[in-house]
Amino acid sequence: MLSLITYHLRRGLLGLCLGALLAGCAAPAAQPRGKIAFLLPETKTTRYESHDLPNFRAQLQARGFDVANNLIYSNANQDAAAQQQQAEAALTNGARVLVLDPVDSNSATAIAELARARGVPVIAYDRLITGSDAVDYYVSFNNREVGRLQGEALVAALAGVPQPTIVMLNGSPLDNNTVAYKEGAYAALQGRVIIAKEYDIPDWSPDQAQEAMAQALTALGNRVDGVYSANDGMAGGAIAAMKAAGLDPLPPVTGQDAELAAIQRILVGEQHMTVYKAIHQEAAAAAELAYVLWLGQTPDPALFNAQVDNGRLPVPAILLTPVAVTRANLGTTIFADKFWQLADVCAGEYAAACARAGLPLNEATP
């Protein structure tokens, strides 16, 4: 499914011309006035500030876009009302394209409708905006596949355990992606494990995940064979709760986002897996799409590899493929893509774990 998208990203999106996005490669002599707004939802998940924003900015800058003066960036810190205000301010300040990763997939409808009323196209980024026909495009990953990869990895880790009991920590109920993650995870888990306790964690909060895991351990008498965690931040909270309860060894725990701390936990055996999403490709695709719309061009339909129903209409979508990552394939995924540098992951106390995993420490030391 991704061969076309990968081609566009490498040859069109990341090349010297717009390729599949534009009918021709020549940029207009005088670029249009106006700005691009990039609105992200929160900072508790570290990817947004460490990967999404810098990659989005870099791709626009590579196109000659005046990032310093014409890119409007805001992070809502998990506050839907604040995101509404940020969007209104961006539109008032001249945004002619809105790239929105919503705090609340439902209430973001109001933002999309406001943009449509002002003639501004809307790209839903990473999370779908639901219930609105004012959403023009969607750039994300196959999120049901994310959940399936997590569930399958957990089942595989529990092979040989009779009737394994797990705790399930789902993401924010306000995030439409949570629904897709659950669907994929249930398809992999049901009939193969016993879901003893299940929680939807507000704001994807590691602290609240830790509290929920502590409650589950108390209720289950510490008898837990595995933990489905929808992302790495919550996995860290769950692991902290299990350490505090004295579980040793720790049961397998899933995650998502390939956060630095999660990669280090995988190396030392505290977390079983994460789901790696090539955020640089996602951010680059969204930036290119925004740039084309900013130029007043119409994207080539061949760019899109899916249509995703948001409850009002099928939204043309670019869906990238997630990858399950364990200690066994860190070198061919996270490090091969330079998502993290060995010097950062293998620093200090993690150097020995990197050596055991066969990672080249000579590249990890300054």
pLDDT, tens only, 265-277: 999 999 999 999 9
Angstrom distances, CA of residue 343 to CA of 128, 140, 362: 35, 29, 9
pLDDT per residue as tens digits for the range 197-251: 999 999 999 999 999 999 999 999 999 999 999 999 999 999 999 999 999 999 9
Q: Torsion angle of alpha carbons 60, 74, 95, 290, nearest 10°? A: 40
Domain 3-141+278-323 CATH assignment equals 3.20.20.70 = no
Of 283, 282, 239, whose CA–CA distance to 261 is shortest? 239
Domains 3-141+278-323 and 145-256 share a fold: yes
Angstrom distances, CA of residue 87 to CA of 41, 258, 290: 12, 29, 16
**What three-state secondary structure class fits 117?**
helix
Return d(Cα 49, Cα 53) in angstroms, integer: 6
Of 37, 11, 20, whose CA–CA distance to 294 is shortest? 37
In sequence order, what are the beta bridge partners of 333? none
Domains of the chain, by residue range, sit at: 3-141+278-323, 145-256, 330-366
Residue 360 is predicted with a pLDDT of 72
pLDDT per residue as tens digits for the range 111-125: 999 999 999 999 999
Domain 145-256 CATH assignment equals 3.40.50.2300 = yes
| 137-141 and 306-309 beta bridge pairing | unpaired
